Amino acid sequence: MRALLAALLMLVSASSARASPPDLLGVGPRSTSLGGAVGADVEDASATYYNPAGLARGEALRLSVGIFHLAPELEINGQSSNLERLGGLSLGLVAPKRFRGVNFAFGLSVQLPHQRLARTRSAITDRPRWELYDTRPHRIFLATGAAIRPVPWLTLGAGLAFQAPSTLVLDLRGMLDLGEPNMASRLETQFAGSIGATRYPHAGVQVRPLDELELGLTYRGQVRLDGRVVVQADADVTLGMVDLAQLALFLDSETNTLFGPQQLNLGAAWRPLPWLRVGVDLTWVDWSRHPSPVAAEEIVLTLDPELPIVELPDEIGARDPTPLGLHDTFVPRVGLEARAVDTRALELDVRLGYVYENSPYPAQTGNASFLDADEHTLTLGLGLRLTDLEPVVRGHVAIDAYLLYSELRQRTHVRESLVDDVGDLVTDGRTWGAGIQLSVAFDPPEESE
Amino acid sequence: MWCDRTGRALGLAAACVLALAAPAHATPPDVFGFGPRTSAMGMTGTAYARDYEAVWANPAGLAQARVTGLSLGYVGGQYRLRLDGQDPAAAYRAYGIPDDVAPGAFHAATIGFHLPLPFGGALEDVFVLGAGFYTPRSTVLQTDVFFAEVPQFPVVNRVGAVHVHLALGIDLGRWVPGLRLGFGASALARLSGTLDVFLDEADQFVSLTETQVLSVFNPTVGAQLDLGEDWTLGVVFRDRVAANIDIDIEVTNLPVEIPRITVAALPQYDPHTLAAELAYRPTRCLLLAAHLSYRFWSDYPGVLSRATDFSNQPPRPEFSDTISPRVGVEWSLGAPRFGGALRAGYAYEPTPAPPARSAPALDAEGNVRIDEGSALTTPLRYVDADRHVLSGGGGLHWATELGLDVRVDAFVQAQRWAARRHAIALLDAPDAPNLRSDGWILVGGLALTVEYR
């Protein structure tokens, strides 16, 4: 019985990833290879994340499909944390239309991991865990946006992104045989479960005060998902053909399963030369609102009558959420893009990006072991554009690719207690990423211009 | 295709239909159809659907679209099912189940678009992308799975899941006159998880828990062939859609041995479906459609699975394949700039389910359990009945001076859930009369579509 109770306790205590996948993966090869410093002038489908206003910048219908891969290599005390690699498919759509000199546009962006739509894994307070990397990227990202460009120097946009919380109410009944639990126990389950849908907003504005300079401001809303599990068990405890007792269990647990902080991003893009673009972004991330990933629980267990051969826990503890103590962060981003080849039929861009993300997590000196560290990210990308494809394509076909390398600074977590079970922790690591995308842009027909 | 008549009478009639549609909603396609036009026409559309509704009805129809369109809708309805003359919630209370999970009102949003790909040269007007989304309010997947003796509605109560349909229509008319092909996929979410628990050296319970939301993709293929100017034949095959929940709980290395517990169920299931339809346009104003859908329900495995390797298996549902005939009619009126349409339809949806009954009780291997020479039975209350679906609706069309075409379409459906006497009582009580089920399902929907070149 104690084991069964423990199993159910563990089931409901599952915590999970917390922030949206694009924060780690980026969206779209061009934007990712520029370090995400594109808030001022992004205009492909990745604008649904970086700045939805950018959807209305162009007049070409854009479709894109790509693949991405991410390989974290993080270590604790010199041992690999064996974090799962991630691969997936990305899809993008930007559908603009110009009416009476005003651009309207709709955009859609999807990042679909190969393995699953979402993954969560249990968190144990004192078990070392890369909270922001463990299962954080393993979620689908789906965002839509709409934008308008009323005048050539101003675009406005807004959109929604989606995530999914879950609830499970489980009933377990039947007969649990103490003598032959595997062969003789007969159990049945019924349940009511749901995967919900949570929408959170993105909005942005882009302005062009000078021909060479563009500015962008983006707000990304907070997303918080709480999972709930209720377990009700009602079983006859038997030994052979003899009924011994009646077991009843009620357990209610609610856990924060995902938290994505609200963000405000200010970006600038400067084109000092016709072939050179320099982008700088600064993102405020509101990590301090992060709730505890530890479950809030209510547990009632009875065995009638009590049995001397079944050792029930003397005291069934219900955990209380404890604050994580995160602090807000400011994330600077820089991106350079240079046109290396520019002919009538072919254009080639070279891209370079850099991001510095200081960790919102304090040093883990108590009994918690949620690990993180400051991170430097370098990105490199290429963009090849074929522009002489008429009559089949009046527009262009592009291939964009990127490589990403992130280095986590070594960090030492010195425990306050000299008899801490886990002990001091030294962490470091790196992440490799790559992606490639094929896109096609159809220019509008002449008569609609 | 609008008739050259004044739209006043039509506008009045359409306004009445819109008023009847009240709060607009939508439903999973296999139960109510997808899109206000095809839903109003008795869930037909395999031969004539030509915009985002075609992603469900027949992706080949997308290839007829020559303009880009975006549609937003809000759809829903009300279950008014009765068991022995009472709301199912009353029966649920008797079984100790919260009555708020009984079939009742439902609401959802629909989103759709169709997008001709503007290739030139040999590929001009050949490819059209389309998508359709059915999103129940605040839900991706809703699963209410009960013990077999609890009355439940596995056929009609399937409205609580996001359905996503993506499709590509290909117009081959340049090479084979009148022929269009379509390929699509529908997606559902399913839930999987594992829980491993063991005791560590310090006598602390340790677990490794993982839950995953997975996607299920199922293909759809279809074709449309114009037979002259007036007739069109459409054929579509939709693969089975099965979204299950599967969570394993395994406890090891403990003083007390616990069997591996599997929380498994199949709450969302659409069978393989093969549909054929003939559409006829005797005049420019009139469209008639006759449709047959064959559903392979006999493959249906049932909602529940056994909880442990040696627990008894739940009873088999023993569903049967069904053939559903449907007819639809559309009468179009109006001028090119402004017009409308009236629509009506009927569908007969025979139930695949045998009556609720005392079914043979099965052991872990699936054999009928015998006790003292007699076969044991267990209550199985999968409650379903034939449905007679009467539908109607209308639409308004306005070609604005901005180059935008704006359409508003609405539909209503009254689904009569035929009276049925089952082979078991509602509750396991001595001398209780056999369960009698009947009722209605009322559905309405509204969609705003904007199209442009």
Q: Would you say residue B408 has pLDDT above 80? A: yes
CB contact under 8 Å between B311 and A421, yes or no, is no
Contact state of B261 with A189 under an 8 Å Cβ cutoff: yes
Amino acid letter, B263: V
- Whether the Cβ atoms of residue A41 and residue A58 lie closer than 8 Å to each other: no
Record: contact B209-A121, CB cut-off 8 A: yes
Query: What is the distance between the alpha carbons of residues B140 and B159, in angstroms, rounded to a whole number?
Result: 11
Contact assessment for residue A216 and residue A203, using Cβ atoms and an 8 Å cutoff: no
Residue type, A406: S
CA A91 distance to own-chain centroid: 17
Is the separation of the CB atoms in B436 and B85 below 8 Å? yes
Q: Please name the residue ranges forming H helices in A65-185.
A: 181-184
Concatenated DSSP letters of B18-48: HHHH-S-----HHHH-SSHHHHHTTT--TTT
Q: Where are the alpha helices (DSSP H) in B248-294?
A: none
Tell me: pLDDT of B173 over 90: yes
- How far apart (Å, rounded) are the C-alpha atoms in residues A351 and B245? 44
Q: Does A9 touch chain B (CB under 8 A)?
A: yes
For residues A163, A164, A165, A171, the Cα torsion angle rounded to the nearest 10 degrees is -170
Q: What is residue A360's three-state secondary structure?
A: coil
- pLDDT for residue B6: 35
Tell me the pTM.
0.81
Examine the pLDDT at B199 and tell me if it is beyond 60.
Answer: no
Can you give the pLDDT at residue A231?
Answer: 73
Q: How far is B7 from chain A (nearest CA, A)?
A: 27
Q: Which of residues 28-57 of B touch A (CB under 8 A)?
A: none
pLDDT at B3: 46
Shortest CB distance from A185 goes to which of B162, B308, B453? B308
Task: For chain B, give the percent of residues with pLDDT over 90.
Answer: 54
pLDDT in tens, B211-236: 777 777 889 999 999 999 999 999 99
Cis peptide leading into B36, omega within 30 of 0? no
Interchain CB distance below 8 Å, A442 and B265? no
Residues 189-208 of chain A with CB under 8 A from chain B are 189-198
Per-residue pLDDT of chain A (449 residues; tens, 9 = 90+): 444 444 444 433 333 333 456 777 789 999 999 999 999 999 999 999 999 999 999 999 999 999 999 999 999 999 898 888 888 889 999 999 888 889 999 999 988 887 677 776 656 667 787 877 777 677 778 888 999 999 999 999 999 887 766 677 777 788 878 777 777 788 887 877 777 777 889 999 999 999 999 999 999 999 887 777 777 778 888 887 788 888 787 777 777 777 889 999 999 999 999 999 999 999 999 999 988 776 676 777 777 888 777 666 655 555 566 777 899 999 999 999 999 999 999 999 999 999 999 999 998 888 778 888 999 999 999 999 999 998 899 999 999 999 999 999 999 988 888 777 778 889 999 999 999 999 999 998 775 44
Give the position of tokens 């009276």: B419
Helix %, strand %, coil % for chain B, to 5? Answer: 10, 55, 35
- Other Cβ atoms closer than 10 A to A429: 22
CA distances from A305 to A274, A309, B282 (A): 84, 12, 79
Q: In Å, what is the CA distance from B226 to each residue of A154, A172, B115, B181? A: 48, 56, 22, 12
Residues B269-290: what's their mean pLDDT? 95
What is the rounded distance in angstroms from the CA atom of residue B153 to the CA atom of residue B188? 20
CA pair distance B390, B324, nearest whole angstrom? 14
| Strand A213-220 to A263-273 pairing | antiparallel
- C-alpha separations of A21 from A70, A138, A430, B165, B193 in Å: 11, 7, 17, 24, 21
Rg (CA), chain B: 25
Can you say how many angstroms the Cα of residue A220 is from the centroid of all Cα atoms in its chain? 13
The Cβ of residue A385 has, within 10 Å, a number of other Cβ atoms equal to 19
Bigger pLDDT: B138 or A186?
Answer: A186
**SS3 of B174, please?**
coil
**Alpha-carbon span A411 to A130, nearest angstrom:** 13
Residue A66 CA to residue A91 CA, distance in Å, equals 7
Three-class SS of residue A358?
coil
Subunit contact A172:B261, Cβ cutoff 8 A: yes
Tell me B354's DSSP state: P
- As given in the structure block, the two tokens for residue B415 are 């689904």
Q: How many other C-beta atoms can be found within 10 angstroms of the C-beta atom of residue B220?
A: 24
Residues from chain A that touch B256, judged by Cβ atoms under 8 A, are 1-3, 178, 181, 310
Chain A, 140 to 199: residues with Cβ < 8 Å from chain B are: 164, 166, 170-174, 178, 181-198
Q: What are the structure tokens assigned to A236, written together?
A: 């006859």
Take residue A430 and report the two structure tokens written for it. 């790196």
Confidence at B139, pLDDT banded by 50, 70, 90: low
DSSP H or E run through B403: none
* Residue A146, strand partner residues: A106, A158
Distance, CA of A65 to CA of A92 (rounded, Å): 6
* A309: closest chain B residue by CA: B256
SS3 B100: helix
pLDDT of residue B21: 32
Amino acid A124: pLDDT: 65
Residue B308 and residue A394: Cβ atoms within 8 Å?
no
Question: How far apart are the CA of B100 and the nearest CA of chain A, in angstroms?
Answer: 11
User: Residue B60: phi, psi to the nearest 5?
Assistant: -60, -30
φ, ψ (nearest 5 deg) of residue A12 = -80, -10
Tell me the residues of chain B between 403 and 432 that have a Cβ less than 8 Å away from chain A. 403-404
The 10 Å CB-count burial string (b at 16+, else e) for B396-422 is: bbebeeebebebbbbbbbebebbebeb
Q: How far is CA A367 from CA A110, A319, B231, B262, B403, in A?
A: 38, 14, 75, 33, 65
- Beta bridge pairs of residue B72: B111, B448
**Which of A14, A106, A194 is closest, CB to CB, to B142?**
A194
Q: By C-alpha distance, which of A413, A439, A437, A441 is closest to A427?
A: A413
Nearest to A208 by CA among A218, A196, A216: A216
Candidates B71, B203, B250, B261, partner chain A, best to mutate (most A CBs within 10 A): B261
**Residue A337 tokens, joined:** 């893009």
Compute the nearest-CA separation of B452 from chain A (Å).
8
In the 8-state DSSP scheme, what is residue B90? H
Is the bond preceding A305 in cis, omega lying within 30 degrees of 0? yes
DSSP code of residue A322: -
- Helix and strand element counts for chain A (H, E): 5, 23
More confident residue, B88 or A175: B88
Task: Say if residues B64 and B116 touch (Cβ distance below 8 Å).
Answer: no
Alpha carbons within 13 angstroms on the beta-carbon side of residue B441 total 24
With 90 as the cut, is the pLDDT of residue B10 above it? Answer: no
Q: What pLDDT, on a 0 to 100 scale, did the predictor assign at position A404?
A: 95
Per-residue pLDDT, A255: 74
Whether residue A33 contacts residue A46, with contact meaning beta carbons closer than 8 Å, is answered with no
Using CB atoms within 10 Å of the CB of residue A90, give its burial: 0 to 12 exposed, 13 to 18 middle, 19+ buried: buried
* Residue A309 contacts B where some CB pair is shorter than 8 Å: no
User: Measured between CB atoms, does B202 come within 8 Å of chain A?
Assistant: yes
Given a cut of 70, whether residue B255 has pLDDT beyond it is no
With bands split at pLDDT 50, 70 and 90, how would you rate the model's confidence at B12? Answer: very low
**Rounded to an integer, what distance in angstroms lies between the CA atom of residue A137 and that of residue A20?**
7
Q: What confidence score (pLDDT) does residue A443 get?
A: 92
* Contact between chains at A166 and B211 (C-beta distance less than 8 A): yes
- A117/B215 Cβ within 8 A: yes
**Which residues lie across from A401 on neighbouring strands?**
A382, A436
Residues of B in contact with A442 (CB under 8 A): 117-119
Q: Which residue has the tokens 């309207």?
A: A104
Tokens 């032959």 appear where? Answer: A180
